[in-house]
Amino acid sequence: MFGRCKACHVEDAERNAVGPHLLGVVGRPIAGISTFRYSSALTKYAQDGKVWDEGLLTDFLKAPRKTVPSTKMAFAGLKNDSDVRNVIAYLKSLRR
């Protein structure tokens, strides 16, 4: 399932691609990588100090554009709850 994410995100290095790298994403402040140019929509969404936790990741992975209207993320979302859980479990394993 994570293969879809690899189209835009790097998971094994602190190197951004179309999207920001995903090392340490769980627990990281949203829009928190200074070397990546986030959409104004995601930057605004992150203004109150939100951190990528399991709940926010679940919402975003299920429906990125519903969670953050006008996000640049083109991915439509994961429809299967077990896929969402599996992707989050994998993301939690990605440490710097």
pLDDT, tens digit, for every residue of 47-84?
Answer: 999 999 999 999 999 999 999 999 999 999 999 999 99
Q: What is the pLDDT of residue 1?
A: 73
pLDDT beyond 90 at 96 = no
Domain count, the chain: 1
Containing structural domain, residue 10: 2-93
Give the contacts of 14 (CB within 8 A, at least 6 positions apart). Answer: 21, 23, 96
Question: Do 61 and 87 touch, CB atoms closer than 8 A?
Answer: yes
CATH code of the domain in which 10 resides = 1.10.760.10
Mean of per-residue pLDDT scores for the chain? 95
pLDDT beyond 90 at 23 = yes
pLDDT beyond 90 at 33 = yes
C-alpha closest to that of 5 among 46, 81, 60: 60
Global confidence as pTM: 0.92
